């Protein structure tokens, strides 16, 4: 069966790319967009197109470079074409009517079929002229009628934050409307989360946008119900350490769900937006992170053809097995509370170079065994636990066990963003009495460096280090649990 699967992959790729290989190249582009000022008056359609063309000029250059390098697909970021700083009135000129892919439409060849569509036409031509799949974020508008729909606004239109995908012939093959909006009052939410997929000669893909990844539907539902192999993920992701850094969370989600993830982010240092990568299930992948300056960057990485893990972590790991089978380690002598991204964690300080500790919050108890290379006086690490509802924006339920570096030696800074550390751990083992099966293992080294190859997840629910962990200073090692069934906003 494995041999047949590999042969099938080779045959598919030979039809698409004219070569017999068992892999393809995927690209993501981290973009610095040209944006309007918040104080600007609403733009005319011509002014809006002028701004969007400036961004598409940059994206076209990246798409051309990716194609020349042999990439089969490229993902561009959320907000990468039209930007931000909008009201309901000022976004109108930046929107087009985007039809269903069932229309079997190539905008590059027939641009007037659905009215004026200059943005869709240009994206389609970029894909066709470069023989590459292009994923982009645009704005869709649809009429609605207040008498028949209570969500219809006074302007009688729906405005959607929308992903589009064009194949290598320029045909529209996927359209997705973002469900979980993040401070985007000028856009509308569709009636239900959309589960959108598309097939390419090199795999089956799903797509969703930014904040959607934190919720069951559409993100997890796509993997569990529609057997996708890869996810294309445009985002405008604001990095919030210690647990919601773009690289650590997106790579962990892909690994835990058993799929490839192609994440394309905006780069804006004032808004803390950066972090793009190709995170393949098999292999290290490639990524880019630059929080110091604003630079566009193209990432290209090899991805194995038709790869999907049929047994991701949540189906093979009993996350609470080890933690519930052992007596609790000694409780910290001085447990304390500190906020982590608005959530009130219970912490205990790691005061020695090695030890075993338990810390509990509500029904979650977290166990840690560890050994540091050396206990530095100028750095503090703590073990933390949180079991409860995260209430910012759309509420969602969390269970988190975390080993993290505090920002300073003041315990009040535990949970504050820290990007640098000097302390190396020779070993650690982290586990928790989780009530959910959806747990994402996060590990981040000093300087925002990923460490997929430096740890493993055991079937009894332990996150354990490998011997090589001692070569790099650690920022955080975390088991980030999402209890989707307890989300109040779950559709």
CB atoms within 10 A of CB 50: 12
Residue 349's SS3 state is: strand
- The closest of 84, 59, 41, 28 to 271, measured between CA atoms, is 84
Tell me the backbone φ, ψ of residue 91, rounded to 5 degrees: -80, -20
Q: Residue 49: CA atoms inside 13 Å, Cβ hemisphere, count? A: 11
Instruction: Give 192's DSSP letter.
Output: S
Q: Which neighbouring-strand residues pair with 174?
A: 165
Alpha carbon of 32 to those of 39, 55, 210, 286, 399: distances in Å?
A: 20, 9, 17, 19, 35
Angle at 395 between CA 212 and CA 191, to 5 degrees: 50
CA-based nearest residue to 271, from 29, 28, 32: 32
Angle at 413 between CA 410 and CA 418, to 5 degrees: 115
Active centre residues (catalytic): 78, 178, 210
Nearest-angstrom CA–CA distance, 34 and 263: 20
From the list 370, 360, 354, 371, the residue with the least C-alpha distance to 324 is: 360
Alpha-helix residue ranges (DSSP H) falling in 277-347: 313-316, 321-325
Do 48 and 95 contact (CB within 8 A), yes or no?
Answer: no
| DSSP annotation string for 125-191 | HHHHHHTSEEEEEEEEEEE--TTT-TT--TT-EEEEEEEEEE-TTS-EEEEEE--S-SS-TTS---S
Cβ-contact 126, 134 below 8 angstroms: yes
Integer Cα distance of 118 and 278 in angstroms:
29
Is the separation of the CB atoms in 432 and 366 below 8 Å? yes
Tokens 């906020």 — which residue?
339
Cα dist. 355→267, 330, 367, 423, 427 in Å?
Answer: 40, 9, 11, 15, 11
Tell me the CA distances in angstroms from 96 to 12, 15, 146, 175, 259, one per residue in order: 34, 34, 21, 13, 32
| Cα distance between residue 32 and residue 289, in whole Å | 13
């Amino acid at each position: 069966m494995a041999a047949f699967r590999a042969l099938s992959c080779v045959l598919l790729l030979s039809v698409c790319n004219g070569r017999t290989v068992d892999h393809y190249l995927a690209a993501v582009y981290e973009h610095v967009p040209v944006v309007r000022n918040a104080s600007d008056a609403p733009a005319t359609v011509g002014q809006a197109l002028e701004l969007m063309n400036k961004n598409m000029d940059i994206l076209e250059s990246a798409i051309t470079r990716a194609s020349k390098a042999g990439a089969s697909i490229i993902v561009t970021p959320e907000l990468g074409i039209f930007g931000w700083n909008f009201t309901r009135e000022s976004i109108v000129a930046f929107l087009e009517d985007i039809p269903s892919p069932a229309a079997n439409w190539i905008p590059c060849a027939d641009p007037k079929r659905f009215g004026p569509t200059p943005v869709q036409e240009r994206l389609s031509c970029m894909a066709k002229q470069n023989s590459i799949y292009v994923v982009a974020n645009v704005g869709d508008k649809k009429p609605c009628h207040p008498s028949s729909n209570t969500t219809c606004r006074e302007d009688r239109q729906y405005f959607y934050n929308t992903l589009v995908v064009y194949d290598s012939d320029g045909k529209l093959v996927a359209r997705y409307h973002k469900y979980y909006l993040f401070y985007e009052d000028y856009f509308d939410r569709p009636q239900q989360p959309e589960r959108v997929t598309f097939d390419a000669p090199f795999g089956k893909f799903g797509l969703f946008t930014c904040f959607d990844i934190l919720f069951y539907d559409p993100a997890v539902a796509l993997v569990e119900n529609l057997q996708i192999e890869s996810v294309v993920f445009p985002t405008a992701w604001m990095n919030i350490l210690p647990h919601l850094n773009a690289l650590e969370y997106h790579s962990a989600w892909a690994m835990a769900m058993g799929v490839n993830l192609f994440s394309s982010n905006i780069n804006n240092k004032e808004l803390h937006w950066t972090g793009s990568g190709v995170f393949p299930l098999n292999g290290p992948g490639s990524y880019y992170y630059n929080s110091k300056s604003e630079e566009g960057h193209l990432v290209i990485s090899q991805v194995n053809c038709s790869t999907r893990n049929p047994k991701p972590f949540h189906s093979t790991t009993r996350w609470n097995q080890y933690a519930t089978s052992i007596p609790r380690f000694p409780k910290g002598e001085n447990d304390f509370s500190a906020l982590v991204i608005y959530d009130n964690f219970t912490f205990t300080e790691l005061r020695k170079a090695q030890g075993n500790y338990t810390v509990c919050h509500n029904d979650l108890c977290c166990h840690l065994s560890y050994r540091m290379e050396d206990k530095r006086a100028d750095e503090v690490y703590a073990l933390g636990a949180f079991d409860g509802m995260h209430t910012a924006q759309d509420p969602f339920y969390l269970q988190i066990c975390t080993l993290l570096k505090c920002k300073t030696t003041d315990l009040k800074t535990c949970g504050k963003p820290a990007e640098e550390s000097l302390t190396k751990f020779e070993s650690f083992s982290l586990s928790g009495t989780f009530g959910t099966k959806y747990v994402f293992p996060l590990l981040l080294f000093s300087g925002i460096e990923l460490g997929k190859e430096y740890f493993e997840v055991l079937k009894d629910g332990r996150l354990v280090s490998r011997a090589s962990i001692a070569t790099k200073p650690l920022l955080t090692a975390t088991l980030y649990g999402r209890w989707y069934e307890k989300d109040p906003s779950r559709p």
